Structure formats: structure tokens, C-alpha cells
Structure 1
């Protein structure tokens, strides 16, 4: 809308603008709340061109109610001395069905919502009907340009039934040329005011986003500054490059198909029109944060699409996973996400997370039933052999703490019954707590009182130091979990009824035991170490709150 609105308005008149001509341009974009209009200020770009042509310009940027009224009063006073008159209003509008009102930027939310009512609206906003008599008295051409976004229309959810957003019905018999358009279209129009090869009629005809009320004038040019078309070409291209949209570039090419920048324009248009580029730009416009990207990767992984990492970086693995998700869910494969696709992904992941919870609960119920049955079969740990059989089968079982406590009591009794030498050797083995120490004890006391305990501990140490455990530990380390994430994992384990020990970000034996229990219940490889599938499932229904 930068210079477009004004250019469009001026370009639509049939007579040249003289030194006595007068223009009023208002660009409102900084509306409060969610009604901001980023392109609302674009028509002000035309001010310098008009002033260079000898037009007196009254202008306002982001005008409040009082500033808008003051400017309109100044325009009315100065209009008596003006020959041609031009008014450009760019921003938000409301319609009562009888009139259209241009909204100020201050206190706009209640106006835009219709909460203020028609009377308050007429006091605080600028009615279009008030401008038409002033423009109609012009000795020369009279133009009114109203610029707003195409989608800024519709009924109000909370306001009066007679109020609607956007432009209402505009009169065709006012004697004033009226043009409406989108910001981009109007921006192109403004820059064409001094183009000797263009009339308002031709510009409206060649730009679908522009509409004239009635038949627009055909005289050309609207402004006659005596300049060359090269300057006009450059000025339009400057605006187009700043907007950098397909619509803006197409507008330039329709105006200057053989212009100085036509080649560059066509190259840029081809780039922006490429489907892959458009898909990339659509995702980029979402402004996804690192946390949001990690959540998307978590959701993809939860649904079985391997992203090869949950790190907030959309590399080849994530792009491939997105492509598969798109193909299997009826979307065109681009490997770049849209807002709708993210919402679909989130919904499907939430359903899958609930399924996982149910599956895990059922596995846990079955495991606990089997655990209790085996405990009963071994006579509830009637002796040391039975206790060790139970722990071999269920090292993290429901009765594992009881079994270990009983074994500790048995070891204490053995200490009391062993001779001084054997106790000393056993104490040393316990202190060293490694395979070599326990083997040395067994060589010294092959039938000693701590024989079973020594052999059981050797087996535990071998399992802990085995190749699989080393690989699992390395895989966990590769995740690069920080202390905050580790605490979140402990909190999640605690919330699931496991006992990970202190929630402090330090993974102790209790934490490893809780992880093994969770992995077993979830049908995951049981190692007691974290990997990507464990993290994805463990945080399946809590990651959103954890990352907020």
C-alpha cells in the first residue's frame, strides 16, 4: 500500500495535477491488539513524488482519533484553494450499511469489535460520506482511494448486528472517482502516477486487486512532471523489491514488460513461484522456535517417522520424516510443514501417546502378575538360592528390594559365623567391588560362606561392564541431555510410580532401576540407559508442558 493508494487515486483522474492541487494521505497500520495492519502505512511512500510534482500534501502516519479529525479539518479548509483534490485512506474500516468509517489507531479494539456502537463510531472514526462533498466541490479532478487488506471484511462476533468489517457500499453517482484496492496493488498504482503511458483506467484494468466505483477516467498521464519513464520504472521496482512478493513482481511486469528491471523481475518471479521455494517460505514464515521444532521431531518419532535426532534442527533425517508423514496423510510431499500439517501431526501424536499409555499399563499389569507368580513359586524367597533365582529373573521386580534386604541379612549372619581371616578377605573384596577382587576371594575360600554372593556379584559386574551396556551408555551420552532434561525425566518416572531416587538430574542406581522397569513395561530394550525411543515415549504426553 506504500505509495499505491495515493498513486492509484491520482492515476485515476483524467487531468494533470497543478501546483494548486491538494492531497490528504493517511497511513494507519499500528492498530492495537491483533488488528495491526503491517502494510497500512505504505501509501505515505507517494508523498515525496507528489510534492516533487508541486502537489501540496497533508499527511498523517498512525493517526489517532483527534489527529485524524484535525487533519480532515485542515484539508477541508485548504480545499477551497485547491484545484484537483485527492484523498488516500489506508488502514481498517467499519461499515454500518449506510456509511463506511475509517478507523483511528487509538482505542481501536472496541471500535473494530463494534463494542462502541454507531454513535461512538461516528464521533471517533472518519466517515467517508463527510469527504465526498468536499471532493465534489473540486474545480479539477477529485479522487478518493480506500486501501485495506482483501480479507478484512465480515460480520462482528461481539458487535452490533448492523456493523461489519471492511468497506461498505460506495456511491457511484458522487461525482468523485473512487478506487479501492489491496496494499500491494495500491503501492504499484502510486508509483505510476507520472507514467506517460498509463491512465487510471488502464492501471485498474491491468491489476485484479484494484477496483473502481463506476468508470475510471482514461486520460493519461495523471501527473505530468516532465520526467522520464526510467525514473518511474526505478521507483516502482524499488517498492516491488521491498515487498518481494509474487503479486508485486507480476504487477511490475504488467506495467513494464520490457522495463529496465524486467529480466531480474522474471528471475525473481521464477524463484518465488517455485513450489519447493514456496513451501520453504511458508514454513519459514511460521517462525518455529527450537522448542517447537523439537516437539515436532518428538511427534514424528512417536508416530514412527525416524528424524535421526531430536535436536531442534531440521536436517535430512527430519525432512525425510516430514515427507513420509505428508505422503501418508494426504498432503503433497514438500518436506516443509504448514500450520495445518503441524496441527494434524500434533493431533495424531496425542492419540498415539494415549495409546502408548494404555499399552504400557497393560504390559505393566501382565509383568506384575508374572512377577508375583514367580515370587510365590520360589516360596517368597525361602532361602538364599530362591532369593537369587528371583533376582536373576526380576532384578528390578516388585519384590527385589525385599529380596536384597534378606540377602543382606544372610550376608550379615555369615559374617558373624565366618572366621576372622575369611571376614577380612570378604571385606577387601567388598571394598574393591570388582571381578578380580571377588575371584581372589573365591580362590582363597572356594566353599566360603560368601561364595554365592561373590558369584552373583561377579555376574552383575560382567553384565554392567558388558559390550551392550557400554553401547547403551554411549548412546545415552550422545543425546547430550542437560541437567534440566535429566530432572524432567526423573520427574516423569516418579509420576509413573517408579522410584528414581532424588530428582536432582543425577542418574543413580535407583534411576537406572526405574528406567529398566519403564523400558520393560514399554516393550523397549531394557538397559537402564536412555536412548531416543525411550525419551520419546517417556515424555510422550508431557513434552509440551516440559518445553514451555
Structure 2
């Protein structure tokens, strides 16, 4: 539930009868530094139908950041005191864990740090739309074309904090443009009804199936009704249906046409157990960071919130309700202060238990590791070193074994015949499985046969597990980790003596090896890439203290 002050602003901004309807249509199809889109500019096909319906339309076609800011600033001034508001954006979108941006035509590999100067925050767009609750539509069109992003950003539209009374429609640019052209300005139809024939479009936020977005043709002009403004406010208040909304109606119309009904609805809502639970949680004023901590705690206790993004959607509410049910509390899906304390205590205890299990498992792994090292690599001969690395590629002595192999490889190279060396250099330069297999087939007793076999084993492993490793990499990318979080992860790995290399926010091969070591000790899937389970375990101690 949004804060009362914010809702007050929304309801007080209901436009007077006769205020102008306004629309802002922006499309970027040709990007100066990224993959161009195919159908973004088709959104402008909706200009004429909107104008015919009485909208004042601002067009922002292929604009760079400064010009886009100017156009949006002008539109924002128009949107103050307007009637209905339509905002349509078609192009590339970038998201982090907490925000989404619409990229302008001059965007160049934006990162979390630089994106504010290369794109428009959807939070800003939604705030402007929120000035016309019950009469605001935001359309977001995107395509599957890739775009180069810097650290902290990934492609796509993330979770949106949609103001009450604002409808958001997302989908492919072509379908969205067709919908805007053919359906949006049709009088007498609700958006919910209009979208029934558009399966590729997603409707989010405010939904009123019985309320048309534009009045039906021939409908009497409400300006002749002296109570039209109050009735308009009441329609929006009913649709939103919150205590704050009804109270704001009463503040403006304490003796109004619907005052008794508003007071009755407030009493009814406040007596609903779920509403009381929601209000109690609202009183805790949980910010986004605190909500992420709660989601991590739930995940740590095996109650999956379906994401750690600081947004309490259906997944988080279901996880909270399940946790409450299993802790002898009413399963409302909304937390109380004492429950927050209990949840944090349980998660902290569980984190300690898991770390102790990991410590014991790590000790057992290292015991076997050291024993095998003593039997093989510690002797210092090449065969022993290679045997150790084959069994423990990320082992305690892996770096030492690799360093001790270098003199053998250098000596062999020095002694190798010219033809043998040239063949090996060609295989190394190509670096493929076929190249190393070709060398070994042609030189089964060659000076570099052992190295070739080691390379073949490594590449065959990668080939067998390519799909799983690619999926793991994609899962890590979806986490949207920024540089600060990556540094925190590297610091945690370093404190666990897992040797992640320099703590610089860059995940290099040393970091991947450290992550694999961490996963192995905790019996997690050993990929070297982070997923939600690994991330929750890694950050549990810093999150919950």
C-alpha cells in the first residue's frame, strides 16, 4: 500500500471537468551505439486516432537524451491539471534490481552508474501518469534485439512500482502499436475488455473492466452537472478502494453526496482481518532494502519468495503466509514487528547451522585433498602433479601444482623437436578440442602429450556441461548484481580463505574458482556462477546481523 500522503496527492489531482487529455509518444528505432529495432516507430500510428479523440499529442521520435528530457519536461507541464494521460514508449529498456530505464537514441553501453544520463527512469514516467488516477495509461513496447550494457544492468523491464489508478500495458512493439492505433481511443470500451483479443500484451496495475477509458459516443457532457467533479472523484475512489482514498474523499466533501457510504466503507475495510494485517505491516515502514532482507531470510529458511527484489508480490506473500502457518501464527501474508524479530532470529540461527555444516564438510574435503596431495603432487614429479589437478582442479594445492608444472613444461618445450613444438604451438593457438586431439593423434609420444591430454579432459568437461554452464551464467546475469554487491561477495569469499583474487567487483577465473570451492563445501550445485541459493548463503551473515 502506498503512503497516505502520496495517495492524497493522487486523489487531489483528479482533473476538473473539461481539462485537456494529453499523450506523450516516444519511439527509438535507430540506436547510434546498439542494435536497431524493427517496429518501434509504428507507435506513431496512434497519433491520429488520439488526436481525433481530443488528445493533445507530443511526439518524441529518435531523440537523444537532452532532447528527450526537453520533450518530457514540456509534456510534464501539460500533464499538470490535465484530464486523461497516455504515455507510450517503444525501444530498448535496461533494468537493475530496483529500477528500469527507457534508453534514448544516444545510449552507449550504459551501466548502473551512467544510465541516468542515457535513459528515462520509468519511475519518473509512472509518477507523471499518477497525476490522473483512473485515467492514466502507460504503454511499454520492446523487442528481443540485444543491447550492450555495462556493469549492473541487464536487458528488459523489471518490477514496477505502479501508482494507484495507473494502468500499464507491456508487450512487443508491433502488437503494442497496433493496439494503441486500433483500440486505445475507441470510446465506450474498458481497457480490460479491449485487451481480450491481444494475448501478447500484459495488463498490470489499475484494472476496471466496467469503466470505459473514453466515454461512449453521444454521452452527455458532464460539465452541465454541478456535482460532476465530486462524482468523478468518487468513481476513482471506489475503484481504488482504500481507506486512504475514502478519507481523502471525505476531506474534500465531508457532507458530500457519498459521505455516508465513504464512512461505511472505511469501517468495513478496517474491520477486515486482512486489511488490519496489511495496515499493521504498513506501520512498520519497511523500505526496499529491509524487504530484501526479509526475502533472503525466508529463502534461507526454505520458504521461496520467488525473487529477492524488495517487492512483496504473490510469491513473497505466499512464503510469508507459509512461514506464519508453520510458526503457529495467523497466515495473513503480512508481517508484524514481533514476527520480523522471530524471522530474523530463525534465519540467523539457520545461517549459523548451515555454516557449521559447511565448515565440517570443508574440513573433510580438505582432509581428502591433503591426503591425495601427499600421495601425488607433493612428490614434485609431473605425473603426480597432473594426477592431483585432474582430481582436484580447484583444490587446496591447485595453484601450487600449476606453478610447479611450469618448469616441466618449459623444459619439455626446450627439448622438443622443432616440428613437435610447431605442431603444439598451432594446437594451442587454435585452442579447440579438435586441435588438441589432432596433436595427440599425430604425436602420441610427443613432448606435450601430457599437456594435450589435460587440455582435452578440461574441454570435454566444458562440452558435456555447456548447456548447464550457460544456464548458470544466465541465472547469475538475471540477479542484476552491481559492482558494490560483487565486491561484497568477493570480500566474503576472501574472509572464508577461498582465494577469489583482488576484491574489485570483477568476477575473473580466480573468483569463479573461489565460488566453486564455496559451492562444493555447502553441497550446492558446483558451477562457479551465482544463483539465488548461493547468493542467499553468501550474504546471509551480513544481511541478518
Relative to the length of structure 1, the TM-score reads 0.51
Counterparts of 1:60-79 in structure 2, within 5 Å, are: none
Aligned partner (choices 454, 457, 462) of residue 455 of structure 2: 457
Cα distance, 1:381 vs structure 2? 4.7
Aligned partner (choices 402, 405, 418) of residue 404 of structure 1: 402
- Distance in 1 (alpha carbons) for counterparts of 2:447 and 2:520: 34
**1:488 equivalent in structure 2:** 488
Cα distance, 1:331 vs structure 2? 1.1
SS in 1 for 2:411: helix
Structure 1 unaligned blocks of 5 or more: 1-240, 250-255
**1:273 equivalent in structure 2:** 271
2:511 matched to 1:528? no
**1:35 equivalent in structure 2:** none
**1:314 equivalent in structure 2:** 312
Aligned partner (choices 386, 392, 395) of residue 394 of structure 1: 392
Kindly tell me: are residues 375 and 260 of structure 1, through their superposed partners in 2, closer, same or farther at Cα, counting changes over 3 Å?
closer
Counterparts of 1:278-293 in structure 2, within 5 Å, are: 278-293=276-291
Structure 2 unaligned blocks of 5 or more: 1-237, 249-254
**1:360 equivalent in structure 2:** 358
**1:25 equivalent in structure 2:** none
User: Do the aligned residues in 1 keep the contact of 2:501 with 2:510 (CA within 8 Å)?
Assistant: yes
- Distance in 1 (alpha carbons) for counterparts of 2:243 and 2:381: 81
- Distance in 2 (alpha carbons) for counterparts of 1:408 and 1:336: 60
Cα distance, 1:300 vs structure 2? 0.6
- Distance in 1 (alpha carbons) for counterparts of 2:505 and 2:544: 20
2:302 matched to 1:324? no
Counterparts of 1:151-190 in structure 2, within 5 Å, are: none
- Distance in 2 (alpha carbons) for counterparts of 1:463 and 1:314: 40
**1:510 equivalent in structure 2:** 510
- Distance in 1 (alpha carbons) for counterparts of 2:447 and 2:411: 9
- Distance in 2 (alpha carbons) for counterparts of 1:484 and 1:437: 40
- Distance in 1 (alpha carbons) for counterparts of 2:312 and 2:262: 31
**1:226 equivalent in structure 2:** none
User: Do the aligned residues in 2 keep the contact of 1:378 with 1:390 (CA within 8 Å)?
Assistant: yes
SS in 1 for 2:540: coil
User: Do the aligned residues in 1 keep the contact of 2:377 with 2:387 (CA within 8 Å)?
Assistant: no
User: Do the aligned residues in 1 keep the contact of 2:243 with 2:269 (CA within 8 Å)?
Assistant: no
Cα distance, 1:423 vs structure 2? 1.2
User: Do the aligned residues in 2 keep the contact of 1:381 with 1:403 (CA within 8 Å)?
Assistant: no
SS in 2 for 1:539: helix
Cα distance, 1:385 vs structure 2? 3.0
Instruction: Output the aligned Cα RMSD.
Output: 3.1
Deviations 1:96-126 (A, max 9, x none): xxxxxxxxxxxxxxxxxxxxxxxxxxxxxxx
Kindly tell me: are residues 475 and 381 of structure 1, through their superposed partners in 2, closer, same or farther at Cα, counting changes over 3 Å?
farther
Aligned partner (choices 423, 426, 431) of residue 425 of structure 1: 423
User: Do the aligned residues in 2 keep the contact of 1:463 with 1:469 (CA within 8 Å)?
Assistant: no
Task: From the CA coordinates, give the structure whose radius of gyration is larger.
Answer: 1
**2:99 equivalent in structure 1:** none
- Distance in 2 (alpha carbons) for counterparts of 1:244 and 1:516: 51
Aligned partner (choices 301, 315, 318) of residue 303 of structure 1: 301
User: Do the aligned residues in 2 keep the contact of 1:286 with 1:339 (CA within 8 Å)?
Assistant: yes
User: Do the aligned residues in 1 keep the contact of 2:424 with 2:448 (CA within 8 Å)?
Assistant: yes
SS in 1 for 2:378: coil
- Distance in 1 (alpha carbons) for counterparts of 2:381 and 2:491: 36
Cα distance, 1:402 vs structure 2? 1.9
Cα distance, 1:467 vs structure 2? 2.1
- Distance in 2 (alpha carbons) for counterparts of 1:396 and 1:381: 19
Cα distance, 1:386 vs structure 2? 2.5
- Distance in 2 (alpha carbons) for counterparts of 1:260 and 1:476: 53
Deviations 1:312-343 (A, max 9, x none): 11122211111111011121001111111111
Deviations 1:436-489 (A, max 9, x none): 332332243232111121121122123234222222212211211111111110
- Distance in 1 (alpha carbons) for counterparts of 2:294 and 2:457: 42
**2:538 equivalent in structure 1:** 538
Cα distance, 1:244 vs structure 2? 5.4
- Distance in 1 (alpha carbons) for counterparts of 2:478 and 2:261: 50
Kindly tell me: are residues 490 and 443 of structure 1, through their superposed partners in 2, closer, same or farther at Cα, counting changes over 3 Å?
same
Kindly tell me the number of residue pairs found equivalent between the two proteins: 301
SS in 2 for 1:422: helix
**1:478 equivalent in structure 2:** 478
User: Do the aligned residues in 1 keep the contact of 2:493 with 2:499 (CA within 8 Å)?
Assistant: yes
Deviations 1:383-409 (A, max 9, x none): 333322211221111111222122222
- Distance in 1 (alpha carbons) for counterparts of 2:439 and 2:379: 26
Counterparts of 1:209-224 in structure 2, within 5 Å, are: none
- Distance in 2 (alpha carbons) for counterparts of 1:488 and 1:337: 28
Cα distance, 1:263 vs structure 2? 3.1
**1:448 equivalent in structure 2:** 446
User: Do the aligned residues in 2 keep the contact of 1:381 with 1:390 (CA within 8 Å)?
Assistant: no
Cα distance, 1:260 vs structure 2? 6.8
**2:468 equivalent in structure 1:** 468
- Distance in 1 (alpha carbons) for counterparts of 2:377 and 2:462: 29
